[in-house]
Amino acid sequence: MKVNGRCHCGNIRYEAEIDPGKVTMCHCTDCQMLTGSAFRANVQTPRETFVLRGGALKTYIKTAESGNKRAHAFCPECGTPVYSAAIDDPPFYSLRVGCLDQRRELRPSRQIWCQSALPWSMNVQAIEKLDRQ
């Protein structure tokens, strides 16, 4: 499936090919901090299908507790996270679903790092719902 993404300020624009059956929610503590939210939704794209159509990404090298390093690409103007990838010759990018125009169709099929999930985030069904703020 072809997807288009952009950052919040519009500086960064890109296209990629993804498998809509491979959307993952990640509850790891790094994703919580780097999104400022409860979890992150990701989908893998083969690196060769990712095409940057505008702007230049900035990269933050994150070191995990395990010592594993990953490159996190984001917009240098507005800070929107775009993807993460292995440092050396990555075969895939992990795209951030919230920045893709097609995000409504990209329902996750798997949740990972549930051991660090915020307990309330595993069931938001009972939380009061308003159409707008």
Residues that bind Zn ion (CB under 5 A): 7, 9, 11, 26, 28, 31, 75, 77-78
Got the DSSP string for 38-64? S-EEEEEEEGGG-EEEES--EEEEEE-
Give the Cα separation of 111 and 26 in Å (integer). Answer: 6
Q: How far is the CB of 38 from Zn ion (least distance, A)?
A: 11
Whose Cβ is closer to Zn ion: residue 8's or residue 107's?
Answer: 8
| Nearest approach, Cβ of residue 129 and Zn ion (Å) | 26
Pair of tokens at residue 94 = 């992990």
Least separation, in Å, of the C-beta of 100 and Zn ion?
15
